[in-house]
Amino acid sequence: MFDKAVGRRSFLQYAGAGAAGIALVAAGCSKDRGYDNPTMNGATLDFKDDTGVLNYAYALEQLEAAFYIQVANSNTQFTGTNAAAKKAYFQDIQFHEIAHREFFKAALSTSAIGSLEVDFSSIDFSSEASVLATAMAFEDLGVAAYNGAGPRLKNGTFLLLAGKIVSVEARHAAYVRDMVSNGSFADLNSLTSLGANNSGGLDAALTPDKVLAVASKYIKTKINVINL
Amino acid sequence: MNIVNILEEIEKVDGEVYERLNPRRAAMKSFFNIGKKISLAAMPLALGSMFQKAYGQSSLPSGVADVLNFALALEYLEYHFYNHALLGTDVTFTYPTAAAKTAITTIRDHEKAHVDLLVGALGSSARTPIAYADTDFRAGGTFANVYTDYNTFLAVAQGFEDTGVRAYKGQAANLMAAPGVLQTALQIHSVEARHASHIRQMRTAAGSTVYKPWVSLGASGQANDSGVAAVDAVYAGEDLTVQAGANIVGIGGFSGITKAAAVESFDEPLDKASVVTIANLFLQPGKRL
């Protein structure tokens, strides 16, 4: 069943991680993939090659874009002397995330996964605090995801593109963190659960299984992960 | 910090890490034995030396040491720039708030951690240390008031951070042969971006001009959005709007993605030669890269 030792080991590692809410498909079952409409039966992220990694990024950008679009549509009331700046910057970020999403969609072309259905029922879009806290979580998770996925990419052009995006996400993360608590822009001690290491001055980095375990709370569409 | 987690993470990108570590079990054993005794602050050095032993200096893929030494030079520069702003006796500006000084301290501490990490990883291949005396943050007079005027200090800081982000990005592909090293470099890269974001907010707070936390278009549509023409080289090419053949302006029919939004959405790399030219502005003759 398992034709490659590496694939089997990766699968066992992944299963052992106990990621809740993410459907597991054994590496050896990959012959099933691609025959169904991904939005009907979930989206499959096949990490055997760069296409899978890019689709993973596309999935996360879909989630982020959907969040900021809903913030804009909810007309969240920002407060404080910099309320107008906050509103303007959230609009900036919204267009950045839409640009990232649309870029991946265009770059992946026919290899792109379908549109994900999101679940934002845990977010109070009328509350500035709820919106800021969620934005912070998404941005820090996004940084961790790109940092953790970068070394998986086999094509240097794709690695560079991921690098072009992750630093923008880190700029977002620092900005939103400062809105929540000024000076927390790079509080690496608060990011150790995402893989950061303050004593080394190192930012968050997480493997896709761990990122998806966190993100799955906000995604209704079933995401199948194979060949991780 | 959990060393086992770190090893597991490395294994995911470098399946051979245990094979690399196995023949050197004695080094590992001694590392774990001292692990309980040393302070957290000493961990990066200890980690660096462990990986140095595990990978062995000669087994660092060709070019990787060069990239790390290049990064180390930049980290030395950044560290001294901030450290002097906190401790230098010729610094006459005052920090407007305690939070501002704390932020500069945080950034200084990260740059020091990066220096230590890179020195540890390079071992005996590490370049000659750069001392404060080797630097010239006044850049031969271009920024003569860098330590007497807070706004000039922040403007130069922004240049350093945005350059750092571009430099690491430009070298990422050269580290693909060493996935563990690439992972660490990416984790430094995004910390520099967080610094850049905060410095830009500090500049906005300190004056009447607004600087976005992300690199946008300049006021006249130029690539340099910093308002300081002397650092044009730092932002050369940041105004790219086509990524991998896709025009980002209005992509997917979204008219809200203006040229400025397209520029902001993607940070651009900078090649080594261009970064060296910028870095050399801040080094004494005879000490330049």
**pLDDT confidence of residue B25:** 44
Distance of alpha carbon A134 from alpha carbon B99, whole angstroms:
24
Tens-place pLDDT, residues A190-227: 999 999 999 999 999 999 999 999 999 999 999 999 99
**pLDDT confidence of residue A168:** 98
Band the pLDDT of B138: cuts 50, 70, 90: very high
Distance of alpha carbon B235 from alpha carbon B278, whole angstroms:
11
Q: B193 vs A171: CB contact, 8 Å cut-off?
A: yes
Q: CA angle, A58 as apex, A130 and A104 as ends, to 5°?
A: 125
**pLDDT confidence of residue B9:** 55
Distance of alpha carbon B11 from alpha carbon A217, whole angstroms:
27
To the question of pTM greater than 0.80 for the whole model, the response is yes
**pLDDT confidence of residue B48:** 53
DSSP E strands in chain B: the ranges are 242-243, 246-247
| A137, A211, A216 from A206: Cα distances, Å | 14, 6, 15
Q: Are residues B178 and B194 in the same domain?
A: yes
Q: Name the residue among A150, A60, A155, A167 with its Cα closest to residue A103.
A: A60
ipTM strictly over 0.95? Answer: no
Coil/strand/helix, residue A19:
coil
Question: What mean pLDDT is predicted for residues B109-130?
Answer: 96
Distance of alpha carbon B40 from alpha carbon A198, whole angstroms:
9
- Among A residues 76-135, those touching chain B with beta carbons less than 8 Å apart: 85, 89, 91-92, 94-96, 98-103, 105-107
Strands A223-226 and A43-46, how do they pair? parallel
**pLDDT confidence of residue B61:** 75
Tens-place pLDDT, residues B199-230: 999 999 999 999 999 999 999 999 999 999 99
Q: Are residues B225 and B102 in the same domain?
A: yes
List Cβ neighbours of A52 (8 Å cut-off, separation of 6 or more): A45, A46, A227
Q: Which domain holds residue B170?
A: 60-213+221-231+269-289
Tens-place pLDDT, residues A27-48: 333 334 444 444 567 999 999 9
Distance from CA of B148 to the nearest CA of A (A): 23
**pLDDT confidence of residue A84:** 93
Coil/strand/helix, residue B208:
coil
User: Quick check: B181 pLDDT over 80?
Assistant: yes
Q: Name the residue among A179, A176, A115 with its Cα closest to residue A143.
A: A176
Question: What mean pLDDT is predicted for residues B14-22?
Answer: 53
Band the pLDDT of B15: cuts 50, 70, 90: low
Q: A200 vs B44: CB contact, 8 Å cut-off?
A: yes
**pLDDT confidence of residue A87:** 95
Q: A92 vs B212: CB contact, 8 Å cut-off?
A: yes
What's the CATH number for A55-220?
A: 1.20.1260
Question: What mean pLDDT is predicted for residues A82-101?
Answer: 96
Give the pair of three-digit tokens for residue B40. Answer: 């957290």
Dihedral over Cα of B189, B195, B201, B203: its sign:
negative
Q: Which residues pair with A24 in a beta bridge?
A: A225
**pLDDT confidence of residue A86:** 95
Distance of alpha carbon B180 from alpha carbon B14, whole angstroms:
7
Q: What is the CATH number of the domain that holds B110?
A: 1.20.1260.10
**pLDDT confidence of residue B13:** 58
Distance of alpha carbon A130 from alpha carbon A134, whole angstroms:
6
Q: Are residues B75 and B121 in the same domain?
A: yes
* Whether A176 contacts A132, CB under 8 Å: yes
Q: Does A28 touch chain B (CB under 8 A)?
A: no
Q: B243 vs A103: CB contact, 8 Å cut-off?
A: yes
Cα B245 from chain centroid? 28
* pLDDT, greater one: A143 or B58: A143
Q: Does A174 touch chain B (CB under 8 A)?
A: yes
Question: What mean pLDDT is predicted for residues B92-107?
Answer: 98
Helix and strand totals (H; E) in chain B: 11, 2
Question: What mean pLDDT is predicted for residues A63-89?
Answer: 95
**pLDDT confidence of residue B16:** 56
Tens-place pLDDT, residues A135-179: 999 999 999 999 999 999 999 999 999 999 999 999 999 999 999
Q: Are residues B150 and B227 in the same domain?
A: yes
Q: Are residues B279 and B157 in the same domain?
A: yes
Chain A residues with CB inside 8 Å of B210's CB?
85
**pLDDT confidence of residue A75:** 87
Q: B194 vs A197: CB contact, 8 Å cut-off?
A: no
Distance from CA of A207 to the nearest CA of B (A): 8
List Cβ neighbours of B25 (8 Å cut-off, separation of 6 or more): none
Q: Are residues B70 and B91 in the same domain?
A: yes
SS3 letters across B137-165: CCHHHCCCCCCCCHHHHHHHHHHHHHHHH
Q: Does A146 touch chain B (CB under 8 A)?
A: yes
How many CA atoms lie less than 13 Å away from A115 in the CB half-sphere? 5
Q: Are residues B189 and B237 in the same domain?
A: no
**pLDDT confidence of residue B60:** 73
Q: A96 vs B265: CB contact, 8 Å cut-off?
A: yes
**pLDDT confidence of residue B40:** 39
Please report, as a single letter, which amino acid is at residue A104: F
Q: Are residues B34 and B124 in the same domain?
A: no
User: Quick check: B266 pLDDT over 60?
Assistant: yes
Which residue is closest to B196 within chain A, CA to CA? A171
Q: Are residues B173 and B252 in the same domain?
A: no
Q: Are residues B162 and B226 in the same domain?
A: yes
Dihedral over Cα of B117, B120, B121, B123: its sign:
positive
Q: B268 vs A164: CB contact, 8 Å cut-off?
A: yes
Q: Are residues B66 and B82 in the same domain?
A: yes
Domain coordinates of chain A in residue numbers?
Answer: 55-220
Distance of alpha carbon A70 from alpha carbon A72, whole angstroms:
5
Q: B169 vs A160: CB contact, 8 Å cut-off?
A: yes
Coil/strand/helix, residue B249:
coil
User: Quick check: B63 pLDDT over 60?
Assistant: yes
The arrangement of strands across the sheet holding A43-46 comes to A23-24, A223-226, A43-46
In a mutational test of the A interface, the residue from B6, B186, B215 whose CB has the highest number of chain A CBs within 10 Å is B186
CB pairs under 8 A between A and B: 226
Coil/strand/helix, residue A219:
strand
User: Quick check: B167 pLDDT over 80?
Assistant: yes
Mean pLDDT of chain B: 87
Question: What mean pLDDT is predicted for residues B179-193?
Answer: 97
**pLDDT confidence of residue A141:** 98
List Cβ neighbours of B135 (8 Å cut-off, separation of 6 or more): B77, B80, B81, B282, B283, B284, B287
